[in-house]
């Protein structure tokens, strides 16, 4: 059974605290990815690389939203389950 392990959520908006749904995006790491990458096979580096790659995608998305002519704030949250 596949479950969600980590969610990286990027939100943005004009007025602080008011999230604009069209700029909200979630980057998800599932248990299949988290455990299948060798976390229990003495290859923790592969699981770490997968998490860092997903984090990189989220960070790049957040960086692309940082335009003061369009949005006033960008927030990135890590949610561990």
Domain boundaries, the chain: 4-80
The tokens for 11 are 């939100």
The predicted pLDDT at position 71 comes to 92
Of 51 and 14, which is predicted with more confidence?
14
pLDDT band at residue 44 using 50, 70 and 90 as cut-offs:
low
Q: Is the pLDDT of residue 3 over 60?
A: yes
The predicted pLDDT at position 42 comes to 64
SS3 for the chain is CCCEEEEEEEEEECCCCCCCHHHCEEEEEEHHHHHHCCCCCCCHHHHHHHHHHHHHHHHHHHHHHCCCCCCCEEEEEEEEC
Summarised one tens digit per residue, pLDDT across range 17-38 is 899 999 999 999 888 777 765 5
The predicted pLDDT at position 34 comes to 72
């Amino acid at each position: 059974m596949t479950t969600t392990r980590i969610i990286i959520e990027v939100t943005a908006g004009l007025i602080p605290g008011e999230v604009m749904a069209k700029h909200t995006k979630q980057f998800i790491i599932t248990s299949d990815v988290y455990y299948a990458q060798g976390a229990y096979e003495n290859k923790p580096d592969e699981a770490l690389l997968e998490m860092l790659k997903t984090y990189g995608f989220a960070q790049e998305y957040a960086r692309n939203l940082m335009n003061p002519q369009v949005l006033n704030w960008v927030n990135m949250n890590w949610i561990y389950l």
